[in-house]
Amino acid sequence: MGDGHIRTLTRLARLLERGAGDLSLSQFRILALVEEGGERASELADRLALAKPTITAAVDGLVDRGYLTRTADCSDRRATKITITAAGRAALYDAEHAMHARLHDILAHADDPAAIERALEDLSRAVDRARAQRLAGRQ
């Protein structure tokens, strides 16, 4: 993979983020992960490959906006569990639909949109496998 591919992915991320409304891509990713199941900040930091203080600041901002809440974790009194609110879920879905529409518009200019869709599905599976291997190596 050449530098051009990395730059294309970066440009695509920027275009998608512009379509995400008032959410940044990192905020979108946090809301999406929390929606999959309540998380602790340390788990989010690990899954997003970000420093815990970075996640804490981002979560604080999403809590202030009413998109996330923190509750006591019954299994560990020192920790808090982060959950998504109805407003957070609505913001996530709105951003997801807007980004999907933007990606659809971009793919309309491709010579073979179906090939790109297949490549994105393959890339998604590759990312999942790489993450699983990385996590397995830690255990």
Give the gyration radius of the chain's Cα atoms. 17
The Cα 132–Cα 139 span in angstroms is 11
The whole-number pLDDT of residue 108 equals: 93
Q: How far apart are CA 34 and CA 28, in angstroms?
A: 10
pLDDT at 138: 64
pLDDT above 70 (res 76): no
Residue scoring higher pLDDT (52 or 108) = 108
Higher pLDDT, 54 or 13: 13
CATH class of the domain defined by 3-108: mainly alpha
* Residue 29, Cβ density class (10 Å: 0-12 exposed, 13-18 middle, ≥19 buried): middle
- Among 40-44, 48-52, 84-88, the range with the most confident prediction by mean pLDDT is 84-88
Give residue 40's pLDDT band: very low, low, confident or very high (50, 70, 90): confident
**Structure-token pair, residue 50:** 């970000």
Of 86 and 130, the one with more pLDDT = 86
Q: Is the pLDDT of residue 50 over 90?
A: no
Q: In this structure, are residues 69 and 28 in contact, taking their beta carbons and an 8 Å threshold?
A: no
Question: What residues does 70 pair with on adjacent strands?
Answer: 82
- Could you give the CA distance from residue 62 to residue 85 in angstroms, rounded to a whole number? 10
pLDDT tens sequence across 1-32: 567 888 988 899 888 888 778 888 888 989 99
